[in-house]
Amino acid sequence: MNAYLLRRVLQMIPTLFGVVLLVFLLFNWVGGDPAYVLAGKFSNPRDIENIRHQLGVDQPLYVQLGIFLRQVITFDFGNSWATQEPVSHIFLSRLGPSLALMIPMLVLETLLGVVLALAVAHVRDSWIDRTLTLLTTSAMSISLLVYIIVGQYVFAFALGWFPVQGWSSTPQGWVHYAVLPILLGLAVSLAPAIRLYRTFVLDEIHQDYVRTARAKGVPEWRVMLVHVLRNASIPIITNVLASLPALLIGAFLLERFFSIPGIGREVILAVERSDFPVIKAVTVAVAVATMVFNLLADLAYKWVDPRVELS
Amino acid sequence: MNANPLANPAPQHPVPQHPAPQAAPARGLWQIAVRRLLRNRVGLASAAVVAAFLLLILTTASGLLARDWDQQYAVSFAPPTAIAGNPQDDDAVGQGGTGSQIDPRAPVDLYGVVDPLADVMARIHGLSAPQAAAVAPEPTSVSGVVDPIGDALARAKAVPKSAVTQQRAVSLTLGADKWGRSVALKVVKGAETSVLVGLAAAAVATLIGTLLGALAGYCGGWVDATLDWLYGVFTAIPYLLLVFAIAAVLQQKGVTTIVLILGLTGWTGVYRLIRAEYLKHKAREYVQAARAIGASHLRRMFVHILPNVSHVVLVQLSQQVVGFIKAEVILSFLGFGVPVDVVSWGSMLNETPNELILGKWWQLAAAAVMMAVLVTAFAMLTDALRDALDPRLK
Amino acid sequence: MSSIESANPTLPPAQPEGAAGVSGRPDHRPSGTDPLLQVADLRVSFRDEAGGWRETLHGVNFAVAAARSVALVGESGSGKSVSSLAVMGLLPARVSRIEPGSVLRFAGQDLLALPAQQRRALRGAQIAMVFQEPMSSLNPVFRVGEQIAEVLRLHQGLSAAQALERARGLLDEVGLPDPGRRLRAYPHQLSGGQQQRVMIAMAIACEPQLLIADEPTTALDVTIQRQILELLAELRARRSMAMLFITHDLGVVSDIADDVVVMRHGVIREQGPAAQVLGAPKDAYTRALLACRPPLVGRPARLLQVEDFMGAVEPGPAPGVASVIADASCNAHTAAATATAAAATPLLVVEGLGKVFSTRQGLFGQHHFTALQDVSFTLPRGKTLGVVGESGCGKTTLGLTLMRLHLPTSGRVMFDGADLSTLSDQGWQAMRRRIQIVFQNPYASLNPRFTVAEILTEPMLVHGIGMDAADRRRRAAALLDQVGLPGAALLRYPHEFSGGQRQRIAIARCLALEPELLILDESVSALDVSVQAQVINLLRDLQARLGLSYVFISHDLAVVRYLSDRVLVMQSGQVVEEGSADQLFDGGQHHPYTERLLAAIPGRGGATQRAG
């Protein structure tokens, strides 16, 4: 077990290096000279030279890579080009609103998705199943933009049930501002979740052990909720864990539409303003989180599936 | 079967004279799949919808239709004909509507930004429009007079010069946007952008994913290790974040850029599936048998295994198209996608939140419905393809 | 699609037993002494791809009396498993249905009229079932103890602790050592035989009156198979429980059954007491099934086939009658080689062959697995070397190593005087023509996207055989003829053929290269016994005509004995015994492992007198 953990952590190093290399190539090589971006409208050659020196982009590429590696290791990406706010501060202060939005969304999506998927799989091939499949297909085909635009207009603007936008970090403020975004996010993500979990459940329903359970006289509800669900939970848990890193970047569009000061909105702003340090920091941080959660997913896999040997 | 060089048509004639042991003609797996697909009514219907869209795109791409989608055919926010009453009744209806709804300067200003021909036209307009706007509150002949035949006529007048004498409609089939452009033409032209981006990006991503997956799964060893590292790197960064990051550094926008962004980042899913398929098939006895008779590596990879995993590739391709259409819409909505002189469903949706507040819902409805129809059809076609190609069902 | 099916339209469903089975027909009218289970006019339909219903069980009648053991015997597609699932009420819903008029009575109750709730209460308590694949039939994420306890808690209302205690006793009863520890094991931590014992423990937990065992030993090695059969017989006697035993293997029937029901294509061909059905079968199909297995004494020139009894003609020339249209040059080539070199060098000499697989373990560690250790043998031209052993003994690795599909870690393989392991890739490519392999699974060994013509001409194309495409095409047709398939098969795809026909195509593909040595890796093991006999006859026929040498790898001692001149017995990667095929069965002194294998042959002793 410890040897496994150690090996997995060591295996992260080349992947992390790859991510750093990819981000570095993207911003320092493909992206061209950031000094022109930063200097903006009032550029004169002296200013640009000055900025180039400050950023270190007048150095050879390998020196720049070294600088970037040091930034990654110390998690100090300097200041935002747009606001001069320290990047680490931006990251930490925007995390809260993103999590306040995403965690309830993920929990509700998983619970509702699993329950509905079990129900649909239970009546598989019936007209209910076919209707629901058609409904989810159509629901998935509508752009999430449309859900948000229409939802915000109808429920906030026209009906006035919810505030149109805004955020507050108090609990009452959360109830006030977060409910509509969460409901809309759920409307978008529930259909694909049901479809995915339905296939997980159906994969199990056709296994031999289900036939054995029926041959034992196990009632149908117990077949579904004990025998099938326990096995289907293996891919479901893996899938949920794999979506956890997404918590860190929040919901880009929801945060943008509802002016929620989360990381997703910050990323969009940064892209609009060519605020490279912010994008770099978020990318590397999320990559690290993804790798950690992948490891957690494997450990969880071992926990729910006795067949898996960690070696 | 086409991939198989053994299928030389020349020697086939002597054999068919033999009586077949079974009455039915020989059917390959592809023929069976096609037959199964033809029996699937939902699949057929969705294939028809997708085909209609492709036909539509052909006509717009060749310039037969919607070439001048950015012409100002109508007054600002002209409503759809169906809800606008009958504009032919009375010219005054049109005039009244126009006068109250728009600031005549707004369309001219923005028109110049959007339309490549606008420079020319703005100069022509410039002779009369500013004075008209400044002096007279009632509409001038340039923008105010009703075109009784509406956008049907306007579409027929596809000659740029007609803009000079163009008369603006008070209503269009699907209404008009803020600048008086026909929503119907925009949504059709936008389909071209969105679908072409989806198809091209899916082709790039599937090609890369299939090639790398085949190499990794078949060769194993250090090739597999290297490609898996690459896969790990690309999947460590959430997809949209990676796309945003690339969009941030690439300053020039354009359809090619967005195709490359989506294609170069979207190969990982295909790679994982194809790699697994190659691993599985490599160990199959028919590939072992091919090795035993001395078939080369390339032959085993592409003549033996590839046709047997091609159904996975096809389903993936179809799935990717849907995914990339959705991604393009989001990117263009955020302004990271297609440039401003190209219309796409995403850039149309971008205009709609403000329109909604003014109660102008038709652009949103048009773009949303078109996209939903296409994506639903494509998704159901994908499902039908998957069922038809499923090798487990014989 | 199978040659037999297409060649032999079955008797009309209205009189399923035909002329032969009348005597054994059970009386299914209610009477004073009702049998425990009565199946009458059972008809089952399945939904086909077009959405229609196709009947696969055409009115089946049989009965199981209390405490009796009935064997339901048939080849694949006979409907034997469908019958048992119908009795259990486990037929897949929506795609299958039991036709009206069918009767299923159990202990006086009309099963088909019972509400679902009561039907479920019977399952696991009164009627229990054991399946073919123990690994997939056990729930992988629950401990063995929990799975056995579940059935006890469900039907007998025991508490968790009581149920576990009973489960321990049951594991003990089915002969699992250290039951206390096994209770906490997960299924994958047990061997196949142990898993099947767990399944049996689960089935007998509530002391059912009827146990249905659906091919319970087919997935197991022969020695394990023997143990499971003995366990079932013992449990049945001790608990005076009735058993419906479903199998494709007439060999095991004599060991386990009081009565036998023979099925084919959804109808019953014959039924009666085991001694009568096995000893004096009335039905032609039963006689054919009994005769087409290789006998354990004597060695007839060819095995009898179903067609010999049923009078149907298989498509293509029957082996032996076939005119040899095949390439004269092909025959001349090998025949000449055989004639001149037979006395000189043996074709294949293997010396001290070893194969070690290494897998990474931990951070730096390596795990070594010895698959082959010091294997040596000599194979003369035109002869057959049999290799027998149970799964994991290294016999398949041996075949793949001979083909250089694995590289040996030690020892050498001399083929016709040349050391294969030192050959360059080019030299090996040329050598490939002379050594070919036929795999076990006929459904996986042909590329499903190729036509038969493409399959057969590809080796010629790769090795530059034949002048042009037309010539190769002609040769391919000749090859098909050689293996007894019509030339029209050239344009067809593998999925249009039955398993036996596919194996013929695989053999024809090897013959395309005019090899001298064929490695047959379990090549007939996946086939139904009647088809197996046809392919075995074909192999013997080809050997006689083309002077081929065979390395015949199988777990089936009877088939190995029938085909081989010499036999290697392998265990754990080593050869434990080598001798002539007849010696092995002569009752002399053998290695203990060989003795175990011989003792495990189903029906040995009881069934030997029927052969010959």
Nearest Cβ partner for B334 among A138, A268, A274? A268
Neighbours of B381 (CB within 10 A): 25
C107 phi-psi bin (left φ>0, alpha ψ -120 to 50, beta other): left
> Once rounded to an integer, what is the mean pLDDT over residues C563-567?
91
| Chains in contact with chain C (at least 3 beta-carbon pairs closer than 8 A) | A, B
In sequence order, what are the residues at sequence separation of 6 or more whose Cβ sits closer than 8 angstroms to the Cβ of residue C392? C572
CB contact under 8 A, B376 and A143: no
| Chains in contact with chain B (at least 3 beta-carbon pairs closer than 8 A) | A, C
pLDDT classification of B152: cutoffs 50, 70, 90: very low
Q: Which residue of A has its CA nearest to C366?
A: A311
Question: Could you list the mean pLDDT of each consecutive 10-residue stretch along chain A, which spans 311 residues?
Answer: 81 89 82 64 70 73 81 79 81 84 90 91 82 84 83 81 79 79 87 89 89 91 90 88 77 84 86 83 87 85 77 56
Beta bridge partners of C262: C73, C270
The answer to whether residue B214 scores a pLDDT higher than 90 is yes
The distance from CA C105 to its chain's CA centroid, rounded to whole angstroms, is 32
CB contact under 8 A, A15 and B346: no
Q: Which residues of B touch C (CB under 8 A)?
A: 1, 4, 6-8, 10-12, 14-16, 18-22, 26-30, 36, 39, 284-286, 288-296, 299, 304, 307-308, 391, 393-394
Report the length, in residues, of chain A. Answer: 311
Chain A residues close to C361, C-beta within 8 Å: 311
Nearest Cβ partner for A216 among C94, C140, C151? C151
The distance from CA A165 to its chain's CA centroid, rounded to whole angstroms, is 22
CA distance to partner chain A, nearest, from residue C151 (Å): 6
Q: Looking at the complex, does the CB of residue A125 fall below 8 Å from at least one CB of chain C?
A: yes
Chain B residues close to A32, C-beta within 8 Å: 249, 251
> Once rounded to an integer, what is the mean pLDDT over residues C302-321?
59
CA distance to partner chain A, nearest, from residue C90 (Å): 7
CB contact under 8 A, B289 and C439: yes
CA distance to partner chain A, nearest, from residue C600 (Å): 28
* Predicted complex ipTM: 0.84
Report the residue of A145, A267, A273, A280 to disrupt the B interface, i.e. the one with the largest count of B CBs within 10 Å: A145
Q: What is residue C167's predicted lDDT score, i.e. its pLDDT?
A: 94
Q: 3-state secondary structure string, C118-171? A: HHHHHECCCEEEECCCHHHHCCCCCCHHHHHHHHHHHHHCCCHHHHHHHHHHHH
CA distance to partner chain B, nearest, from residue C1 (Å): 9
Chain B residues close to C1, C-beta within 8 Å: 22
Chain B residues close to A22, C-beta within 8 Å: 233-234, 237
Report the residue of B6, B13, B41, B298 to disrupt the C interface, i.e. the one with the largest count of C CBs within 10 Å: B6
In sequence order, what are the residues at sequence separation of 6 or more whose Cβ sits closer than 8 angstroms to the Cβ of residue C276? none
Q: Looking at the complex, does the CB of residue B45 fall below 8 Å from at least one CB of chain A?
A: no
Residue pairs between chains A and C whose CB atoms are closer than 8 Å: 80
Q: What is residue B25's predicted lDDT score, i.e. its pLDDT?
A: 59
> Once rounded to an integer, what is the mean pLDDT over residues C326-336?
41
The answer to whether residue C608 scores a pLDDT higher than 70 is no
- Count of H helices and E strands in chain C? 23, 21
Distance CA C388, CA C373 (A): 16
pLDDT in tens, C84-124: 999 999 988 888 899 999 999 999 889 999 998 999 999 99
Nearest Cβ partner for C490 among B15, B286, B295? B15
| Chains in contact with chain A (at least 3 beta-carbon pairs closer than 8 A) | B, C
The more confident residue out of A55 and C286 is C286
Distance CA C391, CA C128 (A): 29
Average pLDDT, chain C: 83
Q: Is residue C516 a contact partner of residue C484, using CB atoms and an 8 Å limit?
A: no
Percent of chain C with pLDDT over 70: 86
The distance from CA A54 to its chain's CA centroid, rounded to whole angstroms, is 34
Question: Which of A228-237, B6-15, B26-35, B205-214 has the largest mean confidence?
Answer: B205-214
Q: What is residue C242's predicted lDDT score, i.e. its pLDDT?
A: 94
CB contact under 8 A, A142 and B372: yes
CB contact under 8 A, C125 and A217: yes
Q: Looking at the complex, does the CB of residue A146 fall below 8 Å from at least one CB of chain B?
A: yes
Question: Picking from A32-46, B5-19, C149-163, C178-192, which range would have the lowest pLDDT averaged per residue?
Answer: B5-19
CA distance to partner chain A, nearest, from residue B106 (Å): 24
Distance CA C141, CA C154 (A): 19
> Once rounded to an integer, what is the mean pLDDT over residues C509-531?
89
The more confident residue out of C293 and C512 is C512
Q: What dotted CATH number matches A89-273?
A: 1.10.3720.10
CB contact under 8 A, B18 and C488: yes
CB contact under 8 A, B26 and C451: yes
pLDDT in tens, B43-65: 888 888 888 888 888 888 777 77
Q: Looking at the complex, does the CB of residue B245 fall below 8 Å from at least one CB of chain A?
A: yes
CB contact under 8 A, A157 and B356: yes
The more confident residue out of A27 and C55 is C55
> Once rounded to an integer, what is the mean pLDDT over residues B347-367?
80
pLDDT in tens, B280-322: 899 888 998 898 888 889 999 999 999 888 888 988 888 889 8
Nearest Cβ partner for B349 among A22, A145, A290? A145
pLDDT classification of C14: cutoffs 50, 70, 90: very low
CB contact under 8 A, A18 and B229: yes
Q: What is residue C315's predicted lDDT score, i.e. its pLDDT?
A: 42
The distance from CA C291 to its chain's CA centroid, rounded to whole angstroms, is 17
Percent of chain B with pLDDT over 90: 13
Stretch (H or E) spanning B196: helix B183-219
Q: Which of residues 169-228 of C touch B (CB under 8 A)?
A: none
CB contact under 8 A, C137 and A231: no
Nearest Cβ partner for C462 among B16, B294, B391? B294
pLDDT in tens, C540-562: 999 999 999 999 999 888 889 88
- Residue spans of the domains in chain A: they are 2-74, 89-273
Q: Which residue of C has its CA nearest to A229?
A: C141
* 3-state class (DSSP) for residue C370: strand
In sequence order, what are the residues at sequence separation of 6 or more whose Cβ sits closer than 8 angstroms to the Cβ of residue A150? B356, B364
Which of C260, C236, C234 has its CA nearest to residue C247?
C260
CA dihedral C122, C123, C127, C133 (to 10 degrees): 180
CA distance to partner chain B, nearest, from residue C382 (Å): 21
CA distances from residue C487 to B15, B23, B286, C453, C476 in whole angstroms, order as listed: 7, 15, 22, 10, 8
Chain C residues close to A304, C-beta within 8 Å: 141
> Once rounded to an integer, what is the mean pLDDT over residues C186-205?
91
Which of C463, C470, C442 has its CA nearest to residue C513?
C463
Q: What is residue C58's predicted lDDT score, i.e. its pLDDT?
A: 92
Q: Is residue A168 a contact partner of residue A186, using CB atoms and an 8 Å limit?
A: no
Report the residue of A125, A146, A154, A196 to disrupt the B interface, i.e. the one with the largest count of B CBs within 10 Å: A146
The answer to whether residue C249 scores a pLDDT higher than 70 is yes
Nearest Cβ partner for B371 among A21, A143, A286? A143
Nearest Cβ partner for B240 among A32, A252, A256? A252
The more confident residue out of B351 and C266 is C266
Q: What is residue C475's predicted lDDT score, i.e. its pLDDT?
A: 92
pTM for this model (two decimals): 0.78
pLDDT in tens, C145-168: 999 999 999 999 999 999 999 999
CB contact under 8 A, A211 and C137: yes
pLDDT in tens, C442-477: 888 898 888 899 999 999 999 988 888 999 999 999
pLDDT classification of B339: cutoffs 50, 70, 90: confident
CA distance to partner chain C, nearest, from residue B320 (Å): 25
Chain B residues close to C433, C-beta within 8 Å: 294
